[in-house]
Amino acid sequence: MKLHGYLWVLGSLFCLGACERSNKETPHLSDNGGRIVAPYGSWLSPLSANDVFEQADNVAELQSVDGAIYFSESDGDKQGQVGIKRLDKKGNIADVVPPSFNVKSAVHEYGGAAFLGIGQSLFATKAHDQLFYRFAPNQPPLPLTPNGTRHADCIAYPKGSRIICVREDHRQPGEPKASLVTINLNFAGEGDTFVSGHDFISSPAISPDNSQLAWITWEHPYMPWDNSILWLGDLDRKGQLHNIRKVNTPTDSSVTQPLFSPDGQLYVVSDISNWWNIYRVTAQNTLAPVLNKKAEFAVADWYLGNHNYAFESEKTIIASYMLGSQAALIRLHLDSGLTESLAVDFGEITQVIRGEDAVYFVGAKATPEKGIYKVIGRGTELVYTPNLPKLDPNYISRAKNITFKTGVNQQAYGYFYGPVNPNYTAPHDTRPPLIVMLHGGPTARASLAYRSDIQFWTSRGFAVLDVNFRGSSGFGRAYRQSIYGKWGQADVEDAVNAARYLVDKGWVDGQKLAIRGVSAGGLTVMSSLAFYDVFQAGVSYAGISDFEQLAKSTHKFETGYLDQLIGPYANNQARYRELSPLYHLEGLNEPLLIFQGLRDQIVPPQQSRKIYEALKVRGVPTAYIAYQDEPHGGWKPEHRAAGLETELAFYGQVFNFTPAGKLATLVLDNAAALKPTLVRNQ
């Protein structure tokens, strides 16, 4: 988030340079160890807001093509645009598609699986126009698909030189139509439809001998992790699809990540046992368990193209899973059912694929280390790393896993990060301010993978709690669905109870509790402030505040999501208003900082502005900052960085400390109404 190119509106201004601070305390040297004694939050950090997002190249998707590994990588120096690179057997890296092309699909709005490599050619979706392009040696990029269509999750199909893709067709009024289509490799055209008649289609997989095709469908009002179906069909010599049959699974279960073994056996991940485990499809079209483990061998499919396992050989599978907070990699021997642990020191493992010589994956650790890894024997080897944050390990806060009571005889989870800075210590008998962080979704999850945005706060003297509230994925189907019928209630209870738990432990200052969130997390922020008197400050990034509006205007992928999370709108209108913080602003009396993109199709800008205006009139300290060209998600790095700096200035005013460094000061409406912060025993 750079400091230009965005719109400041409605009285939310920055005073650049030497602005007056609210806290005049001067840091002084401690008698013990030469560390500077300074209030929590005021510590000088080597990690700037720009560093958080500009040093943020990220490897997303892997593919094995003719002995090389192709991968997509977002470039922090180029506003997060995505290009494609090639890693050869000798470790050489070549740019195949420049970041300026920006490879991103918008199928299901969230995209994923936006490119495919075949031989010397590469095929990719361009973010700007959503056309599917061919990149061939010594030729300009050639668009192959019609305007108004989106494509992703493509696989090679040698019959007739074609590609099989998931298509989302937006050319007609009403909902976009889903299908599986074949696209010619060499010239533009409409293509041929393989599969249609379903609300959603994903995950095509073809057998090694090109004789069978598998895919997944689901229908409204379900999400792919609710109720989804695995299909199987035969491909004849002319490339036509016949004998389509459904694999028998329980109604209340999901399937994901179909994959054929080298000998043509179909495998899939399903949660019929509560946990996403790997299964083999039998000759009777049923599922037989490969491994029963109380762990998640899949993720919620917000994006297409997730891969948690791959065949190392006909008899061995390399698989990644989440077990509570632990991301692990194992080798599974199919004959014996025995497993070998390959790695347990990762915070996140994704994109497990079979290469020509080994299995590869994308891994991220609790430290800045991340990149592409290769499985070698009983271990792993880092073979490529993107541009990484360069933060001294002495400044890195390591998470503590916490479990706390919530709801009615229930529990939730989180990762607690204490303040860490080797140059500072806080005044005697004080506790750090707490920032409770909330992931989006709400069916997403927090992980232990290193996050610079968390270290931005901890290295300045804040404590951070990253919450896996009820409804988060990674803890089994029952936990994932424990928010169903209770969104706007269960997640809010969990955020509040998490903060109370940490105060009771004596780890944080109960008078300096902040809560921040994006989208669904922003809803939890505003609801926590409106319905509870626990937090002293909130920050909402494009936060949802009106369930009624969301039910009427959301995109196709999430059309039925609220039916699960709250209940069908037609029968629950009163409940939708009861849970919407927009209609309960009389209870929101604590300072609130609001960020909003003006091209947001999920949260209308006028909704956030309405909240701002109402709080301003009521005398609540507040500010509203809008970014002219930003949609609901995927904000530019300069805007994200500006947001962090604004937040820091906001917390400084609310909690009465002076942030270190040359930082712009936020002018809050109704700042005179800020409550004096109680400082314990000083």
Cα 500 off chain centre by: 26
Q: Please report, rounded to a whole number, the percentage of residues in the chain having pLDDT higher than 90.
A: 80
Three-state DSSP at 248 gives coil
pLDDT in tens, 410-432: 999 999 999 999 999 999 999 99
- Residue-level pLDDT at 75: 85
Does 22 score more than 60 pLDDT?
no
What is the average pLDDT across 12-22? 33
Q: Which amino acid is at 258?
A: P
- Residue-level pLDDT at 161: 84
- Residue-level pLDDT at 32: 53
pTM of the model: 0.91
Cis omega (within 30 of 0) on the bond before 204? no
pLDDT in tens, 350-396: 999 999 999 999 999 999 999 999 999 999 999 999 988 788 999 99
Residues 6+ apart with CB under 8 A from 93: 85, 86, 87, 384
Instruction: Walk across the sheet containing 359-364 and list its strands.
Output: 348-354, 359-364, 370-376, 379-384
* Residue bearing tokens 């700096």: 645
- d(C-alpha 113, C-alpha 124), whole Å: 9
pLDDT-derived band at 632 (thresholds 50, 70, 90) equals confident
Contact 501, 402 (CB under 8 A): yes
Dump the DSSP string for 20-65: PPS--PPPEE-SSTTPEE--TT----S--HHHHHHS--EEEEEEEE
- Residue-level pLDDT at 565: 96
- Residue-level pLDDT at 302: 95
- Residue-level pLDDT at 273: 96
- Residue-level pLDDT at 603: 86
Topology classification of domain 391-673? Rossmann fold (3.40.50)
What is the average pLDDT across 453-469? 97
pLDDT-derived band at 682 (thresholds 50, 70, 90) equals very low
pLDDT in tens, 70-83: 999 998 778 789 99
Strand 348-354 and strand 266-270: the pairing is unpaired
Which residues are 456's β-sheet partners? none
pLDDT-derived band at 681 (thresholds 50, 70, 90) equals very low
- Residue-level pLDDT at 56: 66
In the chain, where the domains are located? 391-673
Contact 142, 136 (CB under 8 A): yes
Burial 497-520 (b: 16+ CB within 10 A, else e): bbbbbbbeeebbbbbbbbbbbbbb
pLDDT-derived band at 263 (thresholds 50, 70, 90) equals very high
